[in-house]
Amino acid sequence: MTTAIKTSPDLPSRLVNGILSVKPLFNLAKHQARQMMIKRAEKIGVPWNQEVEKLQAARDWANDLAQVQNPQTTYPEYYLRPFHAYDGGDLSWKAAFELEVAARTVHASIWKDAGAEGDTQLRQSYHNILKAQLPHPPQDILDLGCAVGLSTFALQELYPQAKITGLDLSPYFLAVANYRSQQRQSNINWVHAQAESTGLADNSVDLVSIFLMCHELPQSATRKIFAEARRVLRPGGHLTIMDMNPKSEIYKKMPTYVFTLLKSTEPYLDEYFTLDIEQALVEAGFQNSTITNNSPRHRTIIAQVINSTMEN
């Protein structure tokens, strides 16, 4: 029996797209989404403005930026769109300074009464699946789309013996990540590059982890990134992905006004929700993919590289 694959947004999503195509309405929705976030942060005990101001004043950030930025790195067109209510997207200090408080705020509502600990619980739920399903602890790990290092540091705690590389396309994010790693005395290699073209050697890592990045990508970029992950993984290595679950009842039942606010900050959400991710992994050369729900609205996908000479 063949299962039909949804390739275009459903009617409510198309209606929201129509609303957001009107620039004043888009700007209003984006502003409202941001204000709701800041108010929610204060409500759960996360002093948004104070924490951002403290981080901003902590360093001479121009020097930090110079340390991590690769001047040869180029930015694909999709990356230059406004993201997360920032006109400059991820290429801004504001986005970098606010990411930590934003993560704690956004994930506060995943589980009832989780509050500011929701983000930690989400990462732990992902790692619990990795521990249960990966046969051996990886020795070399690549964290794609590492942002300011929250996912990278969490992987380091899970696999303290591993050599870890955090890669991101925003040098502003990496500057904050590098500062945080100095505070933690963590030996992590930070790389400023496209996830589609990492510059890493073939067959050089055991685990490629992608945490909350795929929903921010057009399908064409996702496919290229899967192919790049396949290239850098050793035989027997794994690609693991933690992201929004399009099949979650949370999204299906989300009120239109809330969905409008969400989509105003996530320009590629339709492409992510309609991607046949399992088929995309097969086309990239992966096998044995599994999908496990790790929160009421998130899923973890694990796929493996199996060399033709290896036994399944």
Interval 30-41: pLDDT, tens: 556 676 778 888
SS3 187: coil
pLDDT band at 173 (very low <50, low <70, confident <90, very high): very high
Average pLDDT, rounded, for the chain: 88
Q: What topology does CATH give the domain 17-305?
A: Rossmann fold (3.40.50)
In this model, does residue 3 exceed pLDDT 60?
no
In this model, does residue 28 exceed pLDDT 50?
no
For residue 22, the model assigns a pLDDT of 37
Average pLDDT over residues 144-155: 98
- Beta carbons of 145 and 83 less than 8 angstroms apart: no
Identify the weakest region by mean pLDDT among 31-35, 105-109, 245-249, 284-288: 31-35
Write the CA distances from 289 to 28, 121, 125, 165, integer angstroms.
41, 24, 18, 24
In this model, does residue 20 exceed pLDDT 60?
no
- Beta carbons of 184 and 156 less than 8 angstroms apart: no
In this model, does residue 182 exceed pLDDT 50?
yes
In this model, does residue 161 exceed pLDDT 80?
yes
For residue 227, the model assigns a pLDDT of 98
